[in-house]
Amino acid sequence: MRLIQNFINGEYLDAAGGRRFDKRSPLDNKVIASISEAGAPEVDAAVRAARAALKDEWGALTTDQRVELLYGVANEITRRFEDFVEAEMADTGQPSHVMRHVFIPRGAANFKVFADVIKNVASESFQMATPDGRGALNYAVRMPKGVIGVVCPWNAPFMLMTWKVGPAMACGNTVVVKPSEESPQTAALLGEVMNTVGIPKGVYNVVHGFGPDSAGEFVTRHPGVDAITFTGETRTGTAIMKAAAEGMRDVSFELGGKNAGIVFADCDFDAAIEGIYRSAFLNTGQVCLGTERVYVERPIFERFVQALKAKAEAVRYGRPENPDANFGPLISQEHREKVLSYYRKAVEEGATVVTGGGVPDMPADLADGAWVQPTIWTGLADDASPVREEIFGPCCHIRPFDSEDEVVNLANDNIYGLSTTIWTNNLARGHRVAARVEVGITWVNSWFLRDLRTPFGGSKQSGIGREGGVHSLEFYTETRNICVKL
């Protein structure tokens, strides 16, 4: 059984008093690792190390020197690719192909992309008139914000953690990372990469634990943390925002979603089926950008429901290393109970269960895992809780619509505003509907297609701020003006 320790000031350390908690496999509920739980002293040590590195070695490097080191981090992740794949599969139970083709490559790319962004970003300058006629020159410089608290989710842990750590470090900040207690291994493993490449001690720190009265709260309340970035559920984001109010510290949040998929009758039917299938069921539905509300134009509604049903019933459960498996478990027994509670609510509130709705029959060695069936409903009212509330599982409700105005109103009738996917072969309609939907990102005839230079984030209760390309720099730097009298 693995021991996963905190990574503080370039060293792996146990917590005072030997506090630990178990990490269980979502595949079979067996304990696979013992995790050292950081208390307030460990978090304080991590923050102090980060502050020291900010002023000393890391702060003394030029942008070009930081860029070279971050390229080294990306290359070392690639060299140790199999180690990261194994660690992520162990924590999440998700199929190997998802790790190999999406999550781990993106984790490495996050360091290269933001190294390039900071190296090539332009700064503004203005010449101004002065009364003596000689003028003055104003120019802006970007400075690191300081020590960044990075609080991470469990659904794509390595990709989403590096999505924050990459730009934070590229901008000259230091970080204290609190990974989810459900997926601690890749964040810890990244410490080995940092040491191998020669990242100065204290630049990258990891503290393990939970939220309230544990590492999460200690990080977000620590006065030595200058800003906090978080991906996760809206309720937790609210608690972090209250903590960040002490000291007027900045926050960047990517929060919950109840995303709509809009399918018009003139779509490429097969492409729409494949796209909605992926957006509803990839990563066992544990994707912030996933589709849990599907609106299908009435002429193709019945055909669409039956086609998606066939796709959902063809999933192949299994261990992640099995190349034939394409559907994994949920992250934990606790999360499975949440998802199953919505499966029950859907029936109680009048849903027709098209497929799924329960737990699959699994072989004996996997019977105790956090498995659920991919599930499709129809017939729910628009105010039913499974239609209104984020479930974060492999499920969707499909409802017919008759007009463009109707479906835009339906899509916007929610407290969340993270993403939408629209399927139509009418290009004018695609542009028109995309402009009217109140979300941070809209895909037309695609899903999960990401250019890392573009702005990413949510509207309404789906988040605060934007990440990606130069947009990340707005959070991870402070822009200062220098005025020189000529």
pLDDT of residue 38: 98
Q: Is 292 buried (19+), middle (13-18) or exposed (0-12) by CB count in 10 A?
A: buried
Beta strands in 145-240 (DSSP E): 147-151, 174-178, 204-206, 227-231
Q: Residue 161 phi/psi, 5° resolution?
A: -70, -45
Residue with tokens 């199953």: 340
d(CA 63, CA 374): 47
pLDDT at 56: 87
Query: Same topology for domains 2-255+462-485 and 259-451, yes or no?
Result: no
- pTM for the full model? 0.96
Domain boundaries along the sequence of the chain: 2-255+462-485, 259-451
CA 444: distance to chain centroid? Answer: 21
Tens-of-pLDDT digits for all 486 residues of the chain? 899 999 999 999 999 888 999 999 999 999 999 999 999 999 999 999 999 999 889 999 999 999 999 999 999 999 999 999 999 999 999 999 999 999 999 999 999 999 999 999 999 999 999 999 999 999 999 999 999 999 999 999 999 999 999 999 999 999 999 999 999 999 999 999 999 999 999 999 999 999 999 999 999 999 999 999 999 999 999 999 999 999 999 999 999 999 999 999 999 999 999 999 999 999 999 999 999 999 999 999 999 999 999 999 999 999 999 999 999 999 999 999 999 999 999 999 999 999 999 999 999 999 999 999 999 999 999 999 999 999 999 999 999 999 999 999 999 999 999 999 999 999 999 999 999 999 999 999 999 999 999 999 999 999 999 999 999 999 999 999 999 999
By the 8 A CB rule, do 372 and 394 touch?
yes
37 is catalytic: no
Asked if 254 is an active-site residue, the reply is yes
Question: 69 with 198: CB under 8 angstroms?
Answer: yes
CA distances to 110, 255, 325, 436 from 85, rounded to whole Å, are 16, 26, 16, 40
- For 2-255+462-485, the fitting CATH number among 3.40.50.300, 3.20.20.70, 3.40.50.150, 3.40.605.10 is 3.40.605.10
288 vs 239: CA distance, rounded Å: 19
- 3-state SS assignment for residue 63: helix
State the catalytic residue, choosing from 76, 217, 254, 292.
254
Residue 79: both structure tokens together: 């060299």
pLDDT of residue 1: 80
Name the superfamily (CATH) of residues 259-451: Aldehyde Dehydrogenase; Chain A, domain 2 (3.40.309.10)
Provide the 10 A C-beta neighbour count for residue 366: 18
Helix pair angle (469-476, 157-170), 10° resolution: 70
The length of the chain is 486
Cα-based distances in Å from 47 to 196, 241, 248, 252, 434: 22, 19, 18, 19, 43
pLDDT digits (tens, 9 = 90+) for 320-362: 999 999 999 999 999 999 999 999 999 999 999 999 999 999 9
CA 324 from centroid of its chain's CA atoms? 26
Q: 12: part of which helix (H) or strand (E)?
A: strand 11-13
- Given a contact cutoff of 8 angstroms between Cβ atoms, the answer to whether 312 and 376 are in contact is yes
Burial label, 215 (beta-carbon count in 10 A; 0-12, 13-18, 19+): buried
Longest dimension (CA), the chain: 86
- Give the single-character DSSP code of 271: H
pLDDT tens per residue across span 100-135:
999 999 999 999 999 999 999 999 999 999 999 999
Residue among 171, 288, 395, 396 flagged as catalytic: 288
Residue 120 in contact with residue 147, Cβ under 8 Å? Answer: no
Residue whose entry in the numeric block shows the structure tokens 């991470």: 152
What is the structure's pLDDT at 5? 98
